[in-house]
Homo-oligomer: A and B are copies of this chain.
């Protein structure tokens, strides 16, 4: 597998960063994750805009314009012979003389085969736990996932699939996904504070005929919800059927998540067709 690192394509096993890089010494960097589906970079404009926003928030200069970035993404996919893949584009704080000051950012793109069912009939059902936490600089897609990685053992121990963060101000997000709650009246809500604004979340907010209210959501509302679901680029929509061991609704994926998944798939197909 080839990767792109600091201006050139090379074999993944040869791609290394100096140990003085601020990502290694201080966990300082940002990234974005793209899905390549049927040869199309899904919602690439949104991901690039977010990548630039994250970089700006962390005061890191992106060394290419969008046209150049898309060229790199496409060329890498061609070199690897992949039409369906997950792609991570990372920008770090760079080699730092004192492990504190930002250096010249290191830029890399890595790719993994990733094939997704093009037309699932309903959302996957998953179980979650909750954990009180808020990410540093949550509006930026930083590389700092130490809590998310660390919590994986607890998630496994409790036979769950993911973990929802909350604070006294309410729920926020999953380590890699956004959260949505449906109340007994069928109204849909999603938090807007202390979150990374997901691209799949953005797509859902655009779906006509299904208003989604962005507001604070308490843990109590989560417990009383008739449906809860999450969104992400790799998972699309997954229905949460259990929170901290308590069943949600009837314990099966609900109608709102099912409907929104079909609408999301429609939008995806439309996007891919328009780019072919």
Within 8 A of B (CB), among A86-102: 88, 90, 92-93, 98-102
Number of this chain's copies in the complex? 2
By a CB distance below 8 angstroms, the chain B residues around A92 are 24
Q: Is the CB of B152 within 8 A of A147?
A: no
By a CB distance below 8 angstroms, the chain B residues around A13 are 18
By a CB distance below 8 angstroms, the chain B residues around A31 are 25
A residues contacting the other copy or chain, number (CB 8 A): 49
Q: Is the CB of A142 within 8 A of B27?
A: yes
Q: Is the CB of B136 within 8 A of A146?
A: yes
CA distance A110 to B136 in the complex (A): 27
CA distance A31 to B25 in the complex (A): 8
- Does residue A20 face the partner (Cβ distance < 8 Å to B)? yes
Q: Which of A3, A24, A93 has the most CB of B within 10 A?
A: A24
Within 8 A of B (CB), among A76-115: 88, 90, 92-93, 98-102, 108, 110, 112
By a CB distance below 8 angstroms, the chain B residues around A112 are 98
By a CB distance below 8 angstroms, the chain B residues around A88 are 25, 99
By a CB distance below 8 angstroms, the chain B residues around A22 are 149
By a CB distance below 8 angstroms, the chain B residues around A148 are 26
CA distance A144 to B148 in the complex (A): 13
Shortest C-beta distance, A164 to chain B (Å), equals 16
By a CB distance below 8 angstroms, the chain B residues around A15 are 18-19
CA distance A84 to B153 in the complex (A): 41
**Which residue of the partner chain, among B24, B100, B153, contacts A149 with CB atoms under 8 Å?**
B100
- Does residue A59 face the partner (Cβ distance < 8 Å to B)? yes
Shortest C-beta distance, A221 to chain B (Å), equals 22
A-B contact pairs, 16 of them (CB 8 A): A5-B19, A15-B18, A16-B17, A17-B21, A19-B90, A19-B108, A24-B90, A25-B31, A25-B90, A26-B143, A26-B144, A28-B149, A59-B150, A98-B112, A100-B152, A136-B147
Chain A interface residues toward B at CB < 8 A: 3, 5, 12-13, 15-29, 31, 58-59, 88, 90, 92-93, 98-102, 108, 110, 112, 133, 135-137, 142-150, 152-153
